[in-house]
Amino acid sequence: MKDELTRREMLLGAGALLTMPAWPAWGSAAVTAPTAKVTVGRCMTYGPELVPTLSKMFDQLGGLDRMVKGKTVAIKINMIGVRSQRLGTAPMEETFWTHPKVIEAVVHLMGVAGARRIRVVEGPWSSCETLEEVMLSMNWKPQDILSAAKNVEFENTDHLGRGKTYSRLMVPGGGLIFPGYDLNHSYADCDVFVSLAKMKEHAATGITLSMKNVYGSTPTTIYGQGAGVDEPSLRPHGGRGGVFHFATRAPSKSAPQQIDLTLPKDAGYRLPRIIAELCSARPVHLAIIDGVKSATGAETNYGSRPQAAVNPGVLIAGTNCVATDAVAMAVMGYDPMADKGTAPFANADNMLHIGESLGVGVRDMGRNEVLGVPVSQVVFSYSAVRDKILAAAAKKA
Amino acid sequence: MALSAESNPMRWPAGPLDIALQEKTKGFTTDKAAVLRNWLDPATLGILQGTPVNTLVVSWAAGLASDNEQQQALTPLIEKGRETGVGFVGVIDGEANTSKAIAAALSAGLIAVAMEGEAPADAGIPVIQRNADARIRWSGKSPVLSLSNGIWPGIPQDVNQAGGPTNLPWVDSNGATLRIARALAPDKDVWIEFNPPQQATAQTAEAYMLAVADPASYGARWVVSLDDGLRADLSTKKQPAMDTWKKATGMLSFFKEHNQSKNYQPMGRLALLSNFSGDDWGRGEETLNLLPRLREPARVIARSRAASASFDGLQAIYYTDQEPPDAALRAKLLAFARGGGILFVPSKWANPEGTPAPAEAYLLFKLHTLGKGRLAVCKEEQPDPYDLTADLQTIMSHRYDPIRLYNASSMNFFYETSAQGKQGVIHLLNYSRRPASDGPLFYVKEPHRTARLVSPELASPAELQWSPQEAGGSELSLPKISVYGAVELES
């Protein structure tokens, strides 16, 4: 086995098998990395086909009502990156952000399934503005989401928000980089946690799907470049690169500190582990990936990379984030079993592999139950799009 | 020619006084001295032919031994200038005998003198007061006021500088200062002085184009100033230097031709109201620097003119001064809030009116419901300028944004409209001086009938297409811009 994991990680993974997550694991009582159901739906637009497609997919997973009835649901959406930097004229929701129509549809279906309270959460880039304000700044209609079901609310989780204190979520088995994380209360005050992600590539980690989406749960008041040294700052200042990517500074001292300060200061090493830790500490009960429209090349517009707005026309949902991301990778034309050095993990370890070692889920598609439209019918090769862009650029040059 | 609104100034270092002033500075060489001597040659005025530059600002007196020699040495240049329609403004500086220098200027036929400090009451010649920005003063007899400490526009070399935690870079712009000057002295033409940074290589043509466009888009004139290398190369008519000069003066010509917005008024849903002097200068100026980075167009109201100022169309007013307003102004501001506006005031606002209202804990303002509107009192005496500016925008809400700008992290925009609001222009300045990967994109809440982009970078104006948005408003996609473009709107 081509294995980049260290002995410590293997041991921690084994430890995780013995130390079950403190969280009630919805739909799973397994003691090994749980296998899961994942379903794929064809959906070319954000029009009327969206709700029935998602509804059918949730039914294939066993039904939303079984998951959310009478429960408080937290839905982590993806609105990360500098909001003023679009990819050409394409709006953020058609490239890098979860589309509001998908959010609205999921909230609606959660409401129909009997969710008691639905809290849409995200830590938009270094801002303490309410999510409603961020949506308004992008010309969205937040009221459409708020009125899609009963008891819907937004919370910006990049800071303390409406909580009185931050909630500490520990990594079962002790963690690889950090033993635990201090997060906005919304990530603890929920019965069901949903990662509602976009189907994207990522400059540092290769991919950003439902696992990577959870990375955005970390408040920059603690993990940002301008976070308080001793205590969290009141307001978010700066990105997470210093603490998470490169270890040039520590999180606020009030939060759990890095286990070993001699660990590599390389984003390709650190980020996959931190992401896997977060998914272990805050398990995802339902992973949903918006691949109707998206962007290739990176998680946001870098300007200098071969990127394009694309229309893969696919939705993916599953009861486990590792399993769901594995299917999404296959849809994107990548091998979820690949490791560092193989696309899309050119410079990073495979976060799915590390997640698997921590007992979060299984990346081998053959061991999960994949339902809905066969993956082979919806493959949309992200690398082929990139190659086409590069070839066109070369021809132009 | 007389000093007027048509005067296009350029700093013209030449002669013994400039040599004396510069010879003790680091890096001064005999070659530079030769260039300064060479620029006394009337033939050098040839580079002004076909350009809008018609006013040369020369060193006239500095209280040095070479003052008289300088004035004599400039005579042939001044006489040649008179023949070709070029006027001269003499700078009086340092320990110069002001009366003597002014008398010499009158005798030599200068169109004005420029000096710091109080202007003599009976000079007999326009005296342009040169002011550091925080002490803006002007003389009634001169149609021009000059700001002496402008900054070379662009993106600072220090990569750690950011315009806030938004990932947008900080930009060096003279916009805030010029807008304040315009508000304080609306009947004056504003000149601004700044020099190119001294560096090993000459500044690029685009750098000079931006140096022209940054003040010009805010209705002011840069006193054109060349770097040593460009000045030397222009003397010998080296082609790259001539090309740079052509592009720089091309930008001047562009603004001369596109001056229909001269009488337009800056637009925005927020107004800053201050006396902009002393300690209050910094607060107002910094907020005006930051608002463009948050894409929030704003108006500026001088406190001295607030009594007669119209608050129509405003959603909010930020009264920035630590000193409380007089009773009449306070009443006017409170009436604005009671009528549905938001009044932002500093922490020293005594006995806040209205009923305390709930607000997010992180906000720097305590909110009070007041009639149909709100009074927002800052909690801190010295708040973080970025956080404060961000909170102004948050409390006003993006729901009412009149304009948004995308794909333009190194750009600022400035929006003006005609008195009736039927015409408008959005000035767009690119401080990186090179096009971004994607063309800029504007969201406009209230679309106009037509929109076209004019720019010296385009062979002809580009008609822009409105792209209506599902949630309201419309978007305009622009071609890539290196330095400057203006979107002209017509309803």
DSSP sequence for B53-115: --EEEEEEE-SSTTHHHHHHHHHHHHHHHHHHT-EEEEEE-TT--HHHHHHHHHHHT-SEEEE
| B398 with A137: Cβ contact below 8 A | yes
**How far apart are the C-alpha atoms of B225 and B474, rounded to whole Å?**
41
pLDDT tens, position by position, A338-390: 999 999 999 999 999 999 999 999 999 999 999 999 999 999 999 999 899 88
Q: Are strands A314-318 and A37-42 parallel, antiparallel or unpaired?
A: antiparallel
Residue A150 pLDDT > 60, yes or no? Answer: yes
Task: Provide the 3-class DSSP secondary structure of residue A60.
Answer: helix
Is A173 inside any structural domain? yes
Could you give the angle at the alpha carbon of B24 between the alpha carbons of B20 and B25, nearest 5°? 115
Could you give the angle at the alpha carbon of A303 between the alpha carbons of A302 and A306, nearest 5°? 90
| B438 with A87: Cβ contact below 8 A | yes
Q: Does A130 touch chain B (CB under 8 A)?
A: yes
Give the other-Cβ count within 10 Å of B396's Cβ: 18
Chain A CA closest to residue B397: A133
**How far apart are the C-alpha atoms of B440 and B407, rounded to whole Å?**
5
Interface of B with A in 2-61 (CB under 8 A): none
**Which of residues A127 and A48 earns the better pLDDT score?**
A48
User: Which chain A residues are closer than 8 Å to B441 by Cβ?
Assistant: 86, 89
Domain region containing A118:
7-396
User: Which chain A residues are closer than 8 Å to B477 by Cβ?
Assistant: 89
Which of B361, B405, B477 has the CB atom closest to A89's CB atom? B477
Q: Does B477 touch chain A (CB under 8 A)?
A: yes
Is A73 inside any structural domain? yes
Which of A128, A136, A238 has the CB atom closest to B399's CB atom? A136
pLDDT tens, position by position, A227-267: 999 999 999 988 999 999 999 999 999 999 999 999 999 99
| A236 with B405: Cβ contact below 8 A | no
List Cα–Cα distances, A255 to A229, A245, A262, in angstroms.
10, 17, 19
**pLDDT at position B133, please?**
66
List the one residue out of B148, B129, B130, B131 whose CA is nearest residue B139: B129
Chain A CA closest to residue B296: A137
Cα dihedral angle (A299, A302, A308, A312), rounded to 10 degrees? Answer: 0
Q: Does B264 touch chain A (CB under 8 A)?
A: no
User: Which chain A residues are closer than 8 Å to B475 by Cβ?
Assistant: 89
**pLDDT at position B26, please?**
86
Residue A151 pLDDT > 90, yes or no? Answer: yes
Give the other-Cβ count within 10 Å of B339's Cβ: 12
Q: Span A19-42, mean pLDDT?
A: 61
| Interface residue of B360, B387, B392 to substitute, partner A, most A CBs within 10 Å | B360
Please name every residue paired with B146 in a beta bridge, in sequence order, or none if there are none: B130, B191
The percentage of chain A sitting over the pLDDT mark of 90, rounded to a whole number, equals 84
Q: How far is B383 from chain A (nearest CA, A)?
A: 13
Q: Does A376 touch chain B (CB under 8 A)?
A: no
Sheet holding B373-378, edge to edge: B298-302, B270-274, B316-319, B342-345, B373-378, B365-370, B355-357
**pLDDT at position B134, please?**
62
**How far apart are the C-alpha atoms of A162 and A209, rounded to whole Å?**
27
User: Which chain B residues are closer than 8 Å to A159 by Cβ?
Assistant: 362
Q: How many domains does chain A have?
A: 1
Per-residue pLDDT of chain B (491 residues; tens, 9 = 90+): 799 999 999 999 999 999 999 998 888 999 999 999 999 999 999 999 999 999 999 999 999 999 999 999 999 999 999 999 999 999 999 899 999 999 999 999 999 999 988 778 788 999 998 887 666 766 667 889 899 999 999 998 765 554 444 457 889 999 999 999 999 999 999 999 999 998 777 789 999 999 999 999 999 999 999 999 999 999 889 999 999 999 999 999 999 999 877 789 999 999 999 999 888 888 899 999 999 999 999 999 999 999 999 999 999 999 999 999 999 999 999 999 999 999 999 999 999 999 999 998 899 999 999 999 999 999 999 999 999 999 999 999 999 999 999 999 999 999 999 988 899 999 999 999 999 888 999 999 998 999 999 999 999 999 999 999 999 999 999 999 999 999 999 99
Is A57 inside any structural domain? yes
Q: How far is B167 from chain A (nearest CA, A)?
A: 7
Q: Does A141 touch chain B (CB under 8 A)?
A: yes
Is A353 inside any structural domain? yes
Q: What element of type H or E holds B133?
A: none
Is A2 inside any structural domain? no
| B441 with A86: Cβ contact below 8 A | yes
**pLDDT at position A1, please?**
37
**pLDDT at position A206, please?**
97
Q: Span A302-331, mean pLDDT?
A: 95
Q: Does B443 touch chain A (CB under 8 A)?
A: yes
- The pTM assigned to this predicted structure is 0.91
Q: How far is A128 from chain B (nearest CA, A)?
A: 8
Question: In this structure, are residues A352 and A325 in contact, taking their beta carbons and an 8 Å threshold?
Answer: yes
Q: What confidence tier does A19 reach under pLDDT thresholds 50, 70, 90?
A: very low
**pLDDT at position B118, please?**
79
Tell me phi and psi for residue B172, to 5 degrees: -90, 115
Q: What confidence tier does A20 reach under pLDDT thresholds 50, 70, 90?
A: very low
Chain B CA closest to residue A234: B362
Question: In this structure, are residues B466 and A132 in contact, taking their beta carbons and an 8 Å threshold?
Answer: no
Q: Span A27-55, mean pLDDT?
A: 85
**How far apart are the C-alpha atoms of A323 and A310, rounded to whole Å?**
24
Is A143 inside any structural domain? yes
Q: How far is A387 from chain B (nearest CA, A)?
A: 19
DSSP sequence for B268-285: -SEEEEE---THHHHHHH
Which of B405, B409, B441 has the CB atom closest to A89's CB atom? B441
Residue A7 pLDDT > 60, yes or no? Answer: no
**pLDDT at position A9, please?**
53
| B443 with A304: Cβ contact below 8 A | no
Structure tokens at A300: 């946001």
Is A1 inside any structural domain? no
Residue A6 pLDDT > 80, yes or no? Answer: no
Is A139 inside any structural domain? yes
**pLDDT at position B164, please?**
46
Q: Does B475 touch chain A (CB under 8 A)?
A: yes
Question: In this structure, are residues B474 and B461 in contact, taking their beta carbons and an 8 Å threshold?
Answer: no
| Greatest Cα-to-Cα distance within chain A, rounded to the nearest angstrom | 60
Which domains are seen in chain B, by residue range?
9-257 (3.20.20.70), 268-400 (3.40.50.880), 403-490 (2.60.40.1180)
Q: Span A286-315, mean pLDDT?
A: 94
**pLDDT at position B160, please?**
52
ipTM of model over 0.85: yes
Q: For helices B175-184 and B279-290, what crossing angle results, to 10°?
A: 120
Residue A28 pLDDT > 60, yes or no? Answer: no
**How far apart are the C-alpha atoms of A275 and B86, rounded to whole Å?**
68
Interface of B with A in 347-406 (CB under 8 A): 360-362, 387, 390, 394, 397-399, 401, 404-406
Chain A and chain B share a number of CB contacts under 8 A equal to 84
